[in-house]
Amino acid sequence: MKLTLPSRIVLGIVAAVTLAFIYVPIVIVVLNSFSTSKNLTWPPPGFTTEWWVKAFTNEAALAAVSTSVTVAFAATAIALLLGTALSFALHRFTFFGKSTVNLLVVLPIALPGIVTGIALNNAFRTMLGLQLGWLTIIVAHATFCVVTVFNNVFARLRRVGTSLEEASSDLGAGIWTTFRLVTFPQIRSALFAGGLLSFALSFDEIIVTTFTAGSGVQTLPIFILENMFRPNQAPIVAVVAVVMILIAIVPIYLAQRLTSSDSSR
Amino acid sequence: MTTVSPSVPDRVGASPVRDSPARRGSAFLYRHAKVRLALLLSAPLFWLGLVYIAALVALLITAFWTVDSFTGKIIIEWNLANITKVLGDALYHTVTLRTLGTALVVTVIDLAIAIPFAFFMAKVASRRAQRILVVAILMPLWASYLVKAYAWRSILAQGGILDWLFAPIGQTSPGYGLEGAVITLAYLWLPFVILPIYTALERVPDSLLEASADLGGKTGRTFRHVILPLITPGIIAGSIFSFSLTLGDYIAVKIVGGATQMLGSLVYANVGVANNLPLAAAISLIPLAIIFVYLAVVRRTGALENL
């Protein structure tokens, strides 16, 4: 399809406007975190670093960060195990109910967050009589993180095929040796990318978390939500928000490096 | 006479096959594909089946129970009170229609922005620009949901940037309300909609477009008859995100929606403040039913594999 120059220019302008639409709000959050105004007035009446100092000495905020990191690590570890096993099962075998299993993996993120949230809340509290807390958050997060690992590993398995593994077993390697020396190196970066995505998903999740966290455990998103409506805390929320944006850049950069080195291979 | 081993046994001797338990296990697994499959599937199916499916079934069951209004405890007493309340009460009709309408509008807005943008990314931009754009779309995807909702809270605020921008033309920001919620939700899910469409577009080989042009297909015709059918699964995958995520949202609505109530708000209120889990369960069956119908329709297109 030959696009004329004017239509290319129009598309370019549409793309530029879209990018602006995506990025301007984020820039505004960054500017607001330095604003002397406490109630989000624009343009900022003045600039200060006071909120940054306050946020970094705020114990509740720091505790929330460490809670979020712990939960995200635990959920990602579980998701890596389950997601990898599932992707191998679905890639290497044909069995009865395969498409149902495929649907089952997607379900926790395809269903509305409140449905997942209330279903788990109800199961934990009413059915199992558990107290909401660390365990329930981690179980809930792991459930919807499985799909990100599954997608990454499954896509990789589909691309690399099985011929190298067949060659390995023809040459006498057992299943473990083949996995360690042939399969694992092939899927390593997919595991890493899937793990990063799952970590970010868990770190950021709020809806299911509000239903499964109880009152004792406060993740970073819950901290932000609870402080957003308190006028005195609003600037600290802006700072925490900027920190969360900065944290997101690192995994993105890594994931991008991983996938670009894959495609040049 | 010295024994000179023939070369072939010698090579085998170089890496002797020891009869270790690991080796035997490996050989056993190699011969029994079903055992391998069972080992791979048992843990994930146990988890997803026990944690998730059982929870969904339990939710369905709870909707038919009641809450003791004095103690706040759930009583196992089968009845249809919650279901008839949800189906009969005008409040739930209004909120369901509002939520469904919002989800549809948000999806349409996102598709209208995402399709041209993804097309620019995949087919117009240079290789280098393409890589930069992918990162540019991925980055806000990873930036926190709350941060983005918060950004719109500050944009829509009284005396905020929209008020400031609109002041010269005598308008004010729409403020916190349904319009604000729609804009914010469309903003939140946009990267989720762009990515699958972009992935689908990237898989469309340029040669097909050239063939269409060679055969006299104009731009519009090529788009409708060549590109669109090929990227439909991507479009559907994107729409699942914006549609389903909107149906289940109550946080963004709480942040920028003012007093607007969605199904999610009602569910959350009944789990928390009102402490009526059975009624909350009954309400949550509405978005569940809607999304199941939607998924059942799109499952035929194979779009689920693109999520």
pLDDT tens profile B232-261: 888 988 898 889 889 888 899 999 988 888
The Cα of B201 is separated from the nearest Cα of chain A by a number of Å equal to 13
Give the amino acid at B288.
Answer: L
Contact A114 B22 (CB under 8 A): no
C-alpha to C-alpha distance for A87 and A152, rounded to whole angstroms: 9
pLDDT at B72: 67
Q: Which residues of A touch B40 (CB under 8 A)?
A: 85-86, 88-89, 93
In a domain, B66, yes or no: no
Name the residue among B206, B197, B213 with its Cα closest to residue B121. Answer: B197
In a domain, A63, yes or no: yes
Range of the domain at A171: 59-264
Name the residue among B10, B120, B57 with its Cα closest to residue A123. Answer: B57
Q: Which CATH number fits the domain that encloses residue B285?
A: 1.10.3720.10
Neighbours of B105 (CB within 10 A): 15
Q: Which residues of B touch A237 (CB under 8 A)?
A: 150
Count structural domains, chain B: 1
Confidence of residue A252 (pLDDT cuts 50, 70, 90): low
The Cα of B152 is separated from the nearest Cα of chain A by a number of Å equal to 7
Is the CB of residue A157 less than 8 Å away from at least one CB of chain B?
Answer: no
Range of the domain at B177: 83-306
Q: What is the mean pLDDT of residues B212-218?
A: 85
Say if residue B23's pLDDT is above 90: no
Residue in A with minimal Cα distance to B222: A1
* Angle at A191 (CA atoms; ends A160, A135), nearest 5 degrees: 145
Neighbours of B149 (CB within 10 A): 27
In a domain, A39, yes or no: no
Q: Which CATH number fits the domain that encloses residue A98?
A: 1.10.3720.10
Q: What is the per-residue pLDDT across A67-110, written as a single tens digit (0 to 9) for each? A: 999 999 999 999 999 999 999 998 888 888 888 888 888 888 87
Count interface pairs A-B at CB distance under 8 A.
301
In a domain, B257, yes or no: yes
C-alpha to C-alpha distance for B186 and B181, rounded to whole angstroms: 8
In a domain, A35, yes or no: no
What is the DSSP code (8-state) at residue A47? B
DSSP state string for A198-244: HHHHHHH--HHHHHHSTTT---HHHHHHHHHT-GGGHHHHHHHHHHH
Contact B59, A117 (CB under 8 A): no
Contact B197, B115 (CB under 8 A): yes
C-alpha to C-alpha distance for A153 and A188, rounded to whole angstroms: 9
The token duo for A35 is 């604003």
List, in sequence order, the alpha helices (H) in B48-144: 54-62, 81-88, 90-119, 127-142
In a domain, A116, yes or no: yes
What is the DSSP code (8-state) at residue A130? P
Phi then psi for B74, rounded to 5 degrees? -80, 130
Contact A174 B26 (CB under 8 A): yes
In a domain, A52, yes or no: no
Contact B62 A126 (CB under 8 A): yes
Is the CB of residue B14 less than 8 Å away from at least one CB of chain A?
Answer: no
pLDDT at B116: 92
Is the CB of residue A264 less than 8 Å away from at least one CB of chain B?
Answer: no
Count structural domains, chain A: 1
In a domain, B36, yes or no: no
Residue of B134, B135, B271 lying closest to A118 (CB–CB): B271
Contact B133, B125 (CB under 8 A): yes
Range with the lowest mean pLDDT among A73-77, B26-30, B191-195? B26-30
